Structure 1
Amino acid sequence: MNFVMAFHYKKLGELVTIIGGGTPDRNKPHFWNGDINWISVKDLVGDTISSSLETITTEGLEKSSAKLIPKGNIILPTRMALGKVAINQIDVAINQDLKALIIKDNSQLDLYYLFYFLKSKSNFIESKGKGATVKGITVNLISNLEVPILPLTLQKKIASVLRKAQALINKRKAQIEALDQLTQSVFLEMFGDPVSNKTWERRPLKDIADVRDGTHDSPKYVPNGYPLVTSKNIKNGKIDLSNVNYISEEDFININKRSKVDIGDIIMPMIGTIGNPIIVDEQPNFAIKNVALIKFNNPLLVNIYLKYLLDSHYLDYILNKNKRGGTQKFLSLTDIRNMEIPLPPRDLQDKFSEIVKKIDSQKSILHKSLRELEKNFNSLMQRAFKGELFND
């Protein structure tokens, strides 16, 4: 049968039952820490849900608007993290920011086919979010999504192709994660635990590096100009300019009189989630605000060593020691300058740097491969739900 000939649409609301959830009363401890997995948006970290950060009791479920969803259904958020979608591999109760989609007739609609269709709509769903601070969508929007319907055998065939493509992506991500763990292991093997190992001399960071921060002013934003990098633009070890604000050339020059960023410097968020230091490895054309800037002018300290020290649990140890907390809202410049830094011999730091560069070279190859796999996967999804994947 020709795929295009069999292609028609149905509204999602006709195909699934949409179930909402709720949160048991937090003031009643006996509602919590039970045997029922209770999930929120925080649990949507992958394509499947096999555990939960919190659990509730049977009474907590019965006395609240939380709903128990049997395993093997689709969960998606209608508030925060819009565009995410997952399949629960275990029975779960869901909170009010999530909706469960229960397929009405499994002989007409395949679970994984619907899952990948919703993934293909991720950008669309995210773009429809409304709200000043927290974006949300209506159940109506979900119900009115038009799902391309075709014979179940073809649905399963499409789902199988997409699952195999997704498996390749997951494998590549796992390889990258393994290299990240290798770097952390090498750090600990060479330098020991920075909290407990007292082998090395310790000196305040201000004595061995030039520590500054970005502007404290709020320059006027312009449609086109120079990027102003803040904490929100430092993600996953990279500078993300996709949601950056721009400033004029005059403001850019004035800010850089105080805190010009150069190749080899470390920049690190000081507001929001503290940490996530990055080494600037390309010629910067941006200014910084509320971001720490560490410049290296002393042979005792190598930037790669310091980056991984700050990336370790040592930073949390320092913050907690100063009663700041690992996720506090603001880290002062004084805190950073006074941070005690263990100083292994320079040749050991250099050796570690060379190992990291080799690992990073392998990671770069894997990241390039991952981008290509994700591009192909997105292309497959778009073709599948336009009726172009199996049309002969």
Structure 2
Amino acid sequence: MIGVINKNLEQQAQTLFDNFYDSLSGQSCILSEIIDIRDGTHDSPKATEHGYPLVTSKHLLPFGVDTSSANIISKADYDKVNERSKVNTGDILISMIGTVGLISYVIDSPVEFAIKNVGLFKTSQHPSLDLYILYYLKNKSTTQHIENCLAGSTQKYMSLGELRKLPIVVPSPDELAAYNLVVRPIVSEIALLVQENRRLSDLRDTLLPKLMSGELDVSGLDI
């Protein structure tokens, strides 16, 4: 049910952006002129038993990441990766290799993972631009442009240079404020539903093994 609601809300937000973007007549520039764009490590830190998740493209969700299957790396490696590409709440991630173009808006707080072969748009530094850039990256024209810029024969990839050169029209402050006034409540509702769904899933995963093993006795409940 939550998935259906969120899908409808995302479609609304994307339609609002597409109509808004088509109406703009402002200056065009490249994306790196308005925000900082980086990428994660290209190394393969050794997996450890305790530490921090190393997120790759397969762990990206539309809102947040799924670290359940991510490799765990040491704090030393985590800190080293984050010298290059520290992720913060409100940033945007994009897959850069294999299935290129998967977009994730980071709602995790605090952020306690590092990234590998993933592009990082530092929209947390410009919070008025985060949702504008989020749906710009999901716009059909942008996804087609990314597709046209892919390199590689056996495995496609998007270079950091090409990410930084993505062309974008910059709205005026008034236009951007009007856009955020409409779109931000929709995205806030999506984020709340995602977090609630995650909380319920964690609760299920905690209680179900206890129920199956008999550790948790519910025979006395009046249902």
Q: Give the TM interval when normalised to the shorter protein.
A: 0.7 to 0.9
Matched, 1:209 2:39: no
Larger radius of gyration: 1
What is the CA deviation profile of residues 127-164 of structure 1, one whole-angstrom value per residue up to 9, with x for unaligned ones?
A: xxxxxxxxxxxxxxxxxxxxxxxxxxxxxxxxxxxxxx
Q: Of 185, 192, 198, which aligns to 2:15? A: 185
User: Which amino acid letter does the alignment assign opposite residue 48 of structure 2?
Assistant: V
4+ long deviations beyond 6 Å: 297-301, 369-373
| Larger strand fraction of residues | 1
Q: Of 26, 45, 53, which aligns to 1:227? A: 53
Report the TM-score, using the length of structure 1 for normalisation: 0.46
1:340 deviates by 0.9
Cα gap change, 1:181/1:339 in structure 2, threshold over 3 Å: closer, same or farther?
same
Count of aligned pairs? 202
Cα gap change, 1:287/1:315 in structure 2, threshold over 3 Å: closer, same or farther?
same
Q: Of 335, 357, 361, which aligns to 2:162? A: 335
Contact 2:56/2:118 (<8 A) preserved: yes
Q: Distance in 2 between matches of 1:266 and 1:370?
A: 19
Matched, 1:351 2:174: no
1:285 deviates by 1.1
Relative contact order (alpha carbons < 8 A, sep ≥ 6): 1 or 2 greater? 2
Cα gap change, 1:370/1:270 in structure 2, threshold over 3 Å: closer, same or farther?
closer
Ranges in structure 2 where 5+ consecutive residues have no aligned partner: 212-223
Ranges in structure 1 where 5+ consecutive residues have no aligned partner: 1-168, 383-392
Q: Which residue number in structure 2 is paired with residue 311 of structure 1? A: 138
Q: Distance in 1 between matches of 2:115 and 2:74?
A: 13
Matched, 1:252 2:89: no
Percent identity, aligned pairs only, is 34
1:209 deviates by 1.4
| Larger helix fraction of residues | 2
Contact 2:52/2:78 (<8 A) preserved: yes
What is the CA deviation profile of residues 329-375 of structure 1, one whole-angstrom value per residue up to 9, with x for unaligned ones?
A: 311101101111111113322332232221134335655479869x7
User: Which amino acid letter does the alignment assign opposite residue 252 of structure 1?
Assistant: Y
Q: Distance in 1 between matches of 2:151 and 2:40?
A: 21
Report the TM-score, using the length of structure 2 for normalisation: 0.77
Contact 2:56/2:116 (<8 A) preserved: yes
After superposition, the CA RMSD in angstroms is: 3.2
Contact 2:24/2:171 (<8 A) preserved: no
Q: Which residue number in structure 2 is paired with residue 176 of structure 1? A: 6
Mapping for residues 233-272 of structure 1, pairs under 5 Å: 233-272=59-98
What is the CA deviation profile of residues 302-348 of structure 1, one whole-angstrom value per residue up to 9, with x for unaligned ones?
A: 111001100121222212443659xx731110110111111111332
Cα gap change, 1:300/1:208 in structure 2, threshold over 3 Å: closer, same or farther?
farther
Q: Which residue number in structure 2 is paired with residue 200 of structure 1? A: 26
